[in-house]
Chains A and B, each alone.
Chain A
Amino acid sequence: DTGVSQNPRHKITKRGQNVTFRCDPISEHNRLYWYRQTLGQGPEFLTYFQNEAQLEKSRLLSDRFSAERPKGSFSTLEIQRTEQGDSAMYLCASSQTGTANQPQHFGDGTRLSIL
C-alpha cells in the first residue's frame, strides 16, 4: 500500500494563470474524491469519481474548475484563470467500492498560493 500521492506539494502562481494538480490513488481503489481546505477550516467536498465517471460535483466547483479521471486511474484537477480566493490546500482521497462507510485515505495535498 503506497498510499495516495499528490503532485505538486506546493504551487505558487500569479492570478489569472491556469494550474493543474495530479492525484494517484491507491491502486485497487475505485472511488476518488477531491476536497478543498482553506486555512482554519475543515475540508469541503468538491467532486467524486467512481472509476472514470464523475458522478457528483459540488456547487463550490465553478466553471473554472474541471476534473478528470481517464481510465479510472489517476485524476487531475485544473483551475483556469486563478483568483485570490482559490488559495487553499487541495486534498485527494480514495476508497474501495462499497457502501458509504468505506474509509477514505487522503494524500498530503497540494497547497496553492495565488500571488
Chain B
Amino acid sequence: AQSVTQLDSQVPVFEEAPVELRCNYSSSVSVYLFWYVQYPNQGLQLLLKYLSGSTLVKGINGFEAEFNKSQTSFHLRKPSVHISDTAEYFCAVSLFSSNTGKLIFGQGTTLQVKP
C-alpha cells in the first residue's frame, strides 16, 4: 500500500525567512508527486507537480520542490515567505499505473508566517 508522511504538523516562520516543508512517501511502484495548498474554508489549489525529468520543479507563488528517489522524498521550499503564504500544505501521490488518478494525501503541514 502507498502512504505519504508529512514530517511536521506545524511550521512557524518569520516573514521573509526561508522555509522547507518535508514530505516522504512509501510505494512499491512509481508515483507522480504533487503539492497542494489549502486556505481556510477553501478547496485545494495545485502548487506544483513532479511527473518525470528534472528533479527540481518550480510552481506558483515562488515555491519549488525537489524529488529525491533514493530517499523517497519530495520536500517543498520557498526562499522567502510572505504573510499570505499562511495556509495548510498537503503532499500527495498518485500511481503511474492507476486508471483513476486518485490522490493519496499526507496529513498536512500548517505553515504559520509571523510578521
* Interface, chain A (partner B; CB < 8 A): 4, 6, 31, 33, 35, 40-45, 48, 50, 55-56, 91, 93, 95, 99-109, 111
Contacts and interface: CB of A to CB of B under 8 A. Distances in A.
A108 B104 contact: no
Interface in B53-94: 90, 92, 94
Interface of B: 4, 32, 34, 36, 41-46, 49, 51, 90, 92, 94-108
B43 A107 contact: yes
Contacts of A102: 101
Contacts of B42: 108-109
B43 A40 contact: no
A113 B107 CA distance: 21
Contact of B107 (A6, A41, A93, A100): A41
Which interface residue of B49, B94, B95 has the most chain A CB atoms within 10 A? B94
A56 B90 contact: no
A103 B34 contact: yes
A101 B90 contact: no
B41 to A, nearest CB: 7
Contact of B99 (A33, A55, A105): A55
B45 A44 contact: no
